[in-house]
């Protein structure tokens, strides 16, 4: 029997049908389009927590996409396999003419996509990849000498100038869904089928609160209120269009645009300086003599340091998979400066727990707070937990929400902040003087 000729739109971190660049171009191709998602065994088999909120969120989102596909007499194909084996299986079922994807910039993803591109070439398929998850990518915002920026402020200035000079192009992919492959139910594994617990995703659908975005600079640092967007997870998995979000930020004259620029800045840094995955951006900080006290690290993870604002943040993370952005800086500074524990320990813990975990942003922000990243400020920026509380949670509303047993004679602090600050400054100074 002759196999049906199709194009594939391989969804990864672009889990939406509206304004999806790869999907738009796939639906404009000469062949009906099969939507494909692969639960990548290489990634999932590394996750020890089988009730991972991120996997549950992805699965719930795919169910929503499947529902939309069925409105057009189509069906997604969802597989649990390695990408290469998945495509070999699809190729046995269909005659794949073209594969459409959106760019991914993380080291693993780059190698994965090259492998599938090689597979496509071997089987005489066209492989198309598009910019989608960012406004500007890779080398689009560069210095006049064509080298990458390594400091945010000049990068953001050129980013904004370039943005204002170019019209945002939206892709009306949602209007072309009639071009999807006509098919009945295809493989769609349950969470249990891929080795995870059937837990409910607690992430709500993306809600762009224009009023909040308009007043973002006034509310973003107050952890006790809903002053941040909670859109990080949606940007991470592409359930929201970054183009639409940038447009709304600009229309509302919002400082929120800077958050999008920071995200792209760290993506650019990771792309051009892949050593940051495992090493400091500034290599002189390789020589910091971390204390790496395991018992203190466990207390930090559990939210039992005796510093209420630090403990509140860690408990919020552990219970919800999310932590307020200001508090992320506070707990990060406390780990790396007060406890002198390697930033990579904290980064790995956040990678395990955060719903909105994104390698480039997680890595970039941890190196920023540890003082070893691409930042113009020197290493002696150290957050004082008590001052941060006074400034951003003066009524202790946030602390009491997450530290239920809080009272004046709370847990004794595991370190003296003043002494720890001096110790950190000495360790960093010694490291920078090491030849």
Taking only the tens place, the pLDDT of each residue in 96-125 is: 999 999 999 999 999 999 999 999 999 999
| Polymer length of the chain | 435
In a domain, 399, yes or no: yes
Same domain? For 326 and 363 the reply is yes
What per-residue confidence (pLDDT) applies to 231?
93
pLDDT of res. 200 = 85
Residues 361, 255, single domain; the answer is no
Q: Final residue of a domain: which of 272, 294, 319?
A: 272
Counting the structural domains of the chain, the total is: 3
Q: Is position 216 within any domain?
A: yes
Q: State residue 5's pLDDT score.
A: 97
Domain that holds residue 370: 274-433
Question: Is 383 a member of any domain?
Answer: yes
Q: Provide long-range contacts, Cβ within 8 A and 24+ apart, for 425-433.
A: 425/380, 425/382, 427/288, 427/289, 427/290, 427/340, 428/285, 428/288, 428/371, 428/379, 428/380, 430/287, 430/289, 431/284, 431/285, 431/286, 431/287, 431/288, 431/289, 432/284, 432/285, 432/379
Are 141 and 74 members of one domain?
no
- Per-residue model confidence (pLDDT) at position 435: 53
CA-to-CA distance for 117 and 126, rounded, in angstroms?
8
Could you say which of 110, 132, 154 is where a domain stops?
A: 132
Q: Residue 1: its pLDDT value, please? A: 72
Q: Same structural domain for residues 79 and 128?
A: yes
SS3 assignment, position 152: helix
> Which residue stretches of the chain have pLDDT < 70?
376-378, 434-435
One domain, residues 379 and 409? yes
**CATH value at residue 106:** 3.40.50.620
């Amino acid at each position: 029997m002759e196999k049906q000729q199709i194009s594939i739109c391989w969804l990864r971190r672009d889990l939406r049908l509206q304004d999806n660049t790869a999907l738009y171009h796939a639906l404009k191709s000469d062949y009906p389009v099969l939507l494909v998602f692969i639960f990548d065994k290489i990634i999932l088999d590394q996750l020890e927590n089988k009730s991972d909120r991120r996997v549950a969120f992805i699965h719930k989102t795919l169910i929503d996409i499947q529902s939309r596909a069925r409105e057009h007499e189509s069906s997604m194909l969802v597989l649990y396999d390695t990408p290469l084996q998945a495509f070999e299986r699809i190729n046995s079922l269909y005659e794949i003419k073209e594969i459409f994807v959106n760019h991914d910039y993380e080291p693993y993803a780059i190698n994965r996509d090259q492998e599938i591109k090689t597979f496509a070439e071997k089987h005489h398929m066209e492989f198309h990849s598009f910019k989608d998850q960012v406004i500007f990518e890779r080398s689009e915002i560069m210095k006049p000498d064509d080298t990458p920026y390594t400091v945010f402020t000049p990068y953001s200035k050129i980013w904004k100038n370039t943005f204002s000079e170019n019209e945002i192009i939206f892709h009306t992919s949602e209007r072309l869904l009639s071009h999807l492959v006509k098919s009945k139910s295809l493989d769609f594994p349950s969470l249990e089928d891929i080795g995870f617990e059937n837990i409910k995703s607690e992430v709500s659908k993306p809600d762009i609160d224009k009023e909040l975005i308009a007043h973002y600079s006034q509310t973003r640092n107050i952890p006790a209120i809903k002053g941040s967007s909670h859109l990080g997870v949606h940007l991470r998995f592409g359930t929201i269009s970054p183009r639409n979000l940038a447009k709304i930020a600009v229309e509302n004259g919002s400082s929120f645009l800077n958050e999008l620029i920071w995200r792209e800045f760290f993506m650019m840094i990771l792309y051009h300086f892949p050593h940051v995955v495992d090493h400091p951006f500034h290599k002189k900080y390789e020589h910091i003599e971390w204390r790496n006290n395991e018992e203190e690290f466990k207390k930090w993870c559990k939210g039992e340091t005796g510093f209420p604002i630090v403990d509140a943040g860690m408990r919020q993370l552990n219970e919800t998979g999310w932590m307020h952005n200001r508090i992320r800086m506070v707990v990060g500074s406390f780990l790396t400066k007060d406890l002198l524990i390697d930033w990579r320990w904290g980064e790995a813990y956040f990678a395990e727990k955060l719903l909105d975990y994104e390698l480039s942003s997680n890595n970039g922000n941890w190196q920023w707070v540890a003082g070893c990243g691409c930042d113009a400020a020197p290493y002696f920026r150290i957050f004082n937990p008590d001052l941060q509380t006074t400034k951003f949670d003066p009524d202790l509303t946030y602390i009491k929400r997450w530290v239920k047993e809080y009272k004046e004679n709370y847990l004794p602090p595991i370190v003296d902040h003043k002494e720890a600050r001096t110790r950190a400054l000495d360790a960093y100074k010694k490291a920078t003087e090491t030849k």
